[in-house]
Amino acid sequence: MRKTRTIALAALLVALAPIAIADGAMVLFNDQVVEISATLDDPTDLWVSPDDLTRINGFVLKPEGACLDDICIVAREDVDGGLVVNRDGAKWFSVTELARKLQQAFVHDAETGVWSFGEIPVTRKPFLESGMAPDFALEDRNGDTVRLSDLRGKKVMIVTWASW
């Protein structure tokens, strides 16, 4: 029964690709909390606008794919509907599918709409394989941003401690 199969496949595709625009989300990555005002309604994936994608993790949607510096992941809606879809003329991008392709760990709290993303493994290679110090931007107690990359030319000792 070819027709039944086609219908079943169409139903499956509809089920896979979210349509409705849902409420926002809070996204934690790289010590930032990014508030997203609109997402696609999907219980397992986080779909955001291309602008929000850049706000979350710096990736920019280009003709060749979603790119961050020299990392580019192919993202064409006619090739890979899991990563980018078009709804009423607007593009939506799956941050979670990108994370899976990058083998980036993430956690989702469905009840509150909070997503927390771990480091992107490919960006960790210079540290793990060659000992290049991971950069960070953290606010000090005076309210100034401390960026390790601003301290080139000096020797630095980072030391952790805790009150507990």
Partner 1 sequence: MPVWQSIYEELNDPNFVIISAAQDTGGEAAAGPIFEKANVTYTAIVDVNHTISSLYNFVNVPSAAWIDEEGRVVRIDEGTYTRAANVLGQTIGSDDYLPALKDWLKNGADSPHIYSADKVASQIRGRSDEETLAEPTFKMAAYFYQNEDQDRANAYWDKAQALSPESWNFHRQDWSFLEQKDTMKNFMGKVNALRAAEKPYYAPMELKPSTD
143 near partner 1, rule: CB under 8 A: no
Which of these ranges, 17-25, 64-72, 76-84, 116-124, lies near partner 1 under the rule CB under 8 A? 116-124
162 near partner 1, rule: CB under 8 A: yes
Instruction: Please name the residue ranges forming H helices in 41-94.
Output: 50-57
Give the span between the Cα atoms of 51 and 61, in whole angstroms.
9
Do 120 and 104 meet the contact criterion of CB atoms below 8 Å apart?
A: yes
44 near partner 1, rule: CB under 8 A: no
Q: How far is the CB of 96 from partner 1 (least distance, A)?
A: 12
Tokens for 95?
């941050």
Region of 122 on the Ramachandran plot (φ > 0 left; ψ -120 to 50 alpha; else beta): alpha
Which of these ranges, 44-52, 66-74, 80-88, 135-143, lies near partner 1 under the rule CB under 8 A? 135-143
Do 47 and 20 meet the contact criterion of CB atoms below 8 Å apart?
A: no
Q: How far is the CB of 61 from partner 1 (least distance, A)?
A: 23
Contacting positions for partner 1 (CB under 8 A)? 26, 28, 31, 33, 105-107, 109, 112, 114, 116-119, 127-136, 138-141, 146, 148-149, 151-164
